[in-house]
Structure 1
Amino acid sequence: MRNKSSCWTQLTNLCAKNEERRVRANDREYNEKFQYASNCIMTSKYNIITFLPVNLFEQFQEVANTYFLFLLILQLIPQISSLSWFTTIVPLVLVLSITAVKDATDDYFRHKSDNQVNNRQSQVLIGGILQKEKWMNVRVGDIIKLENNQFVAADLLLLSSSEPHGLCYIETAELDGETNMKVRQSLSVTSELGDPNNLARFDGEVVCEPPNNKLDRFCGTLYWKDCKYPLSNQNMLLRGCVLRNTESCYGLVIFAGPDTKLMQNSGRTKFKRTSIDRLMNTLVLWIFGFLVCMGVILAIGNAVWEKEVGALFQSFLPWDPTVDNFLFSAFLSFWSYVIILNTVVPISLYVALEYNQIKNIENGLQQYNFLNINVKFI
């Protein structure tokens, strides 16, 4: 009783804030007014247009890449450049290209996985007839028929089941890692709607909480035939679950696509950094600090030499036209020393790391294919 009262309290507060979700069964026109998300999911990070700018932005979050880009800009300034810019741009482009190829490959497999999931088939009740629809075409308010061992296409309100008392059994391993069966039960008033003709006439309206990532909580109310019935998590089938030991059941789509609890918990795909990457960033910062200290010491030595001795050589070794005093000469010398000593930051090490990561991916794919061949053979 306490759980039901708290659920009612939360639902009342949501309604007061106009944050509730309203879903009417078998009425796409009504549900489309709220512009709910479709059941199409996208876990990839890039497309053809955004790949280059987004990937470069992510790569230049690496300290070493930013350092070498800064060094390349310095080498393009004739007054301080003492080395050819070609010596920096080639390894930098090589590192960026290898990383881009690796990221593009990962994202390609994400696109492939998304297409595979979005094109799965579900039986949707349309006009009293069960029709096969792709998952990405399922909409909020549709009634779906699930059969044994099928994945749940969206977050559903269980309406009826082939089992007695409206029971069904699900496996939630993809949601919480638990392989034991869980029991879900439909409301007694809807458990009798087992026939597609009866379900096609079902016009109940669900008022519930907005999308969230709480796997063990659901608060809502079903309004049907001038009555209202409280709903809880025991009445819900979440996307990613698998129907087990149940011949068939019917469910009403409440949350679809990115609004489902599975996708709400998955979060946004982020740029991943390994512990080696973080260690390398820290080392590069320390090395760069050491490089700056060396440049400052050498620049001070240049200033002292130019002031005390360099003036004697002005007749046959004059300063550049842009240099008018020893302090400005020391300033330019500082950047020249930074360019000369840039090899203390080993860009070749980054090339080797990226190459090793690609080799590890290739070895992993080979092992995966080998295991698949053995499983098929068995």
Structure 2
Amino acid sequence: MTWRSPLALVREALRGQRAREKDLRNFASNLPYEGLEKAKQPNRFFPGNAIKTTKYTLLLFIPMNLFEQFHRLANIYFVGLAILNFVPVVNAFQPEVALIPICVIMTLTALKDAWEDFRRYQSDRKRNNTPCFIYSRREKQFSERSWKEVQVGDFVKVFSNEIVPADLLLLDTSDPNGVCHIETSNLDGETNLKPRRTVSGVCVSDPEFEPESFNSVVVCERPNNNLNHFKCYVEKPDKEKVGAGIESLLLRGCTVKNTDHAVGFVVYAGQETKSMLNNNGPRYKRSKLERKLNIDVIFCVILLLSMCFVGSVGHFLWLEEFPDVPPYLVPDSNGHLDSPGLSGFYMFFTMIILLQILIPISLYVSIELVKIGQIFFITNDADLYDEETDSRVQCKALKITEDLGQIEYIFSDKTGTLTENKMVFRRCSIIGTEYPHKENAIRLAVLEEPESGEEVIFNQRPQPSQTGWSLHAEDTNPEEMQHHHDNRRKSRVTGSAPSDVAFSSPLPSWFQSRLQMADLLGVSDKHINFGPK
């Protein structure tokens, strides 16, 4: 290793910063410079492919964790009381004893946070050591390396059902048309395959792509987090420029499908890949319970200060009533006694220590122990075990496990994630009125698939079917028709349903037209017979 002066290192860092901040980046192949020292590498200013998603380091763990724990107002409250106990004038307990509860709570929380961050470290290490194939000029072939060894300017070969290790500009595929299909479910949740095409006119696979023959320069934009946008062009040795876009970019985290292999040129690596730029990193999360407790702590502190103020004022007034010094008041070593005003001031802080139980510290000890128990039971729940993948559920956010039991609404599309691709109507509620689909419920009870087709379930008694449709004018009178017409008009204003009807599919147009005609004539639903269309 060559020794370099600190000034040269600073100058190199500034040059690298300027190179990374340029709007356009020029990438050359690393193959002609393989084996040379890093200072002679053309792409040395750009980061490697190793990623880091951990929150803490060994040196900064204690200060960062303490800063996060003091987001909980109760911790500030109890630490303040422990410090107040070290003041000899106002202390009420042994100072060392007052430190034990808050130290136990903060130690348990720190251990839990350390374990959570250690699991992130293990995940990063596993991902960084995932094998991939990088072309080596010395070996004249693609050799197996780890993801963390990938550099900008390398040629990477990805086989079918493998995950792309970095953002690659697609240059060659096993498909004769230069098409490669990828699955982006790890990025956007979509399982449908997306086609990607090689950059046209840059590489000629005859019979196989040779990375050493690639003498062009790749010019692309600065990395950004837009997964659907990419601008780039390849400048050939004869100065001809060939443009490329997102249709030629393989994103890190995607899976190659229906393609034997694909070869790409690394344009973004590590933290500069689009997937990592969309990852904001671990952040401090607070559950609803913790936010609610913070508000309660504020009110309790206000109540505590009010009680202490009343106690200090009462102590002052009580001492003022004595004409002489009471015999039970012990002077200090100099024979000096505090004035009633100063004694009342000291009594204010003494009352804070005496009434600190107003905010029970045992509550937070119990909460931490309950969270640990919740994590244990969630992780070992047999109903959440997947036999196909031999995996169980993982609690990645150990601070908000109790929020799982407080979910009120689930917003989901119809991709089948929650429904297993089985959309069966069972019941709905409209303005407090429940409309069940009894036939579907019976089918589900006997584990039978519901029949397809349009069904209409009426809660009133069925009418005898007739050919066509008719209005039984003899069963109605004008007053009844007018009364029902007013009720239907009122129901449209208030939004209430005129009858309890549940539909498993939209009503046919002929059915809707006949309902509208009956509504215009002011005839009740029970006086209409619907026959076949």
Q: Please say whether Structure 1 and Structure 2 have the same fold, judged by a TM-score greater than 0.5.
A: yes
Paired residues in the alignment total 362
Describe the SS at the equivalent of 2:343.
Answer: helix
Larger radius of gyration: 2
Residue 328 (structure 1) aligns with: 342
Tell me which moved more, 35-44 or 203-212: 203-212
1:98-155 Cα shifts (integer Å, max 9, x gaps): 1122112211211111111000011101203211110001101101001000000001
Residue 178 (structure 2) aligns with: 166
Residues 316, 130 of structure 1: alpha-carbon distance in 2 compared, 3 angstrom cutoff: closer
Counterparts of 2:206 and 2:133, CA distance in 1: 15
Residue 18 (structure 1) aligns with: 22
The CA RMSD measured in Å over matched residues stands at 2.5
Mapping of 1:122-271 within 5 angstroms?
122-127=132-137, 128-193=140-205, 198-225=210-237, 226-271=239-284
Describe the SS at the equivalent of 1:336.
Answer: helix
Match of 1:94 among 104, 127, 132: 104
Tell me which moved more, 29-38 or 196-205: 29-38
Counterparts of 1:249 and 1:323, CA distance in 2: 89
2:95 is the alignment partner of 1:85? yes
Describe the SS at the equivalent of 1:312.
Answer: coil
One-letter code aligned to 2:350: S
Tell me which moved more, 139-148 or 287-296: 287-296
Residue 312 (structure 1) aligns with: 324
Q: Is the 8 A contact 1:31 1:140 kept in 2?
A: no
Residue 305 (structure 2) aligns with: 292
Deviation, 1:297, is 1.6
Deviation, 1:95, is 0.9
1:237-284 Cα shifts (integer Å, max 9, x gaps): 000100000111100111111111111111121122111111111111
1:50-87 Cα shifts (integer Å, max 9, x gaps): 32232222212211111111110001111001122344
Match of 1:354 among 365, 368, 372: 368
Match of 1:113 among 115, 119, 123: 123
Match of 1:70 among 48, 69, 80: 80
Gaps of 5+ in 1: 1-14
Counterparts of 1:312 and 1:318, CA distance in 2: 13
Residues 195, 134 of structure 1: alpha-carbon distance in 2 compared, 3 angstrom cutoff: farther
Q: Is the 8 A contact 2:28 2:42 kept in 1?
A: no
The structure richer in helix per residue is: 1
Residues 194, 327 of structure 1: alpha-carbon distance in 2 compared, 3 angstrom cutoff: farther
Aligned identity (percent) is 33
Counterparts of 1:134 and 1:368, CA distance in 2: 35
Q: Is the 8 A contact 1:160 1:194 kept in 2?
A: no
Counterparts of 2:274 and 2:156, CA distance in 1: 18
Counterparts of 1:338 and 1:194, CA distance in 2: 84
Describe the SS at the equivalent of 1:165.
Answer: coil
Tell me which moved more, 249-258 or 311-320: 311-320
Residues 312, 373 of structure 1: alpha-carbon distance in 2 compared, 3 angstrom cutoff: farther
Residue 342 (structure 1) aligns with: 356
Question: Which of the pair has the greater relative contact order for Cα pairs under 8 Å at 6+ separation?
Answer: 1
Q: Is the 8 A contact 1:298 1:334 kept in 2?
A: yes
Tell me which moved more, 52-61 or 210-219: 52-61
One-letter code aligned to 1:23: F
Counterparts of 2:359 and 2:41, CA distance in 1: 59
Describe the SS at the equivalent of 1:46.
Answer: coil
Deviation, 1:303, is 2.1
Deviation, 1:188, is 1.4
Tell me which moved more, 46-55 or 116-125: 46-55
Describe the SS at the equivalent of 2:299.
Answer: helix
Q: Is the 8 A contact 2:330 2:337 kept in 1?
A: no
Describe the SS at the equivalent of 1:253.
Answer: strand
Counterparts of 1:213 and 1:123, CA distance in 2: 26
1:270-306 Cα shifts (integer Å, max 9, x gaps): 1221111111111111111111111112112222222
Residues 49, 323 of structure 1: alpha-carbon distance in 2 compared, 3 angstrom cutoff: farther
Describe the SS at the equivalent of 1:94.
Answer: helix
Q: Is the 8 A contact 2:22 2:222 kept in 1?
A: no
Q: Is the 8 A contact 1:161 1:194 kept in 2?
A: no
One-letter code aligned to 2:359: V
TM-score by length of 1: 0.89
1:185-238 Cα shifts (integer Å, max 9, x gaps): 111113524766622221221222212111111112211121112221111000
Residue 38 (structure 1) aligns with: 48
Residues 22, 319 of structure 1: alpha-carbon distance in 2 compared, 3 angstrom cutoff: farther
Describe the SS at the equivalent of 2:380.
Answer: helix
Gaps of 5+ in 2: 1-18, 392-533
Q: Is the 8 A contact 1:156 1:237 kept in 2?
A: yes
Residue 113 (structure 2) aligns with: 103
Counterparts of 1:295 and 1:120, CA distance in 2: 62
Describe the SS at the equivalent of 1:281.
Answer: helix
Q: Is the 8 A contact 2:312 2:344 kept in 1?
A: yes
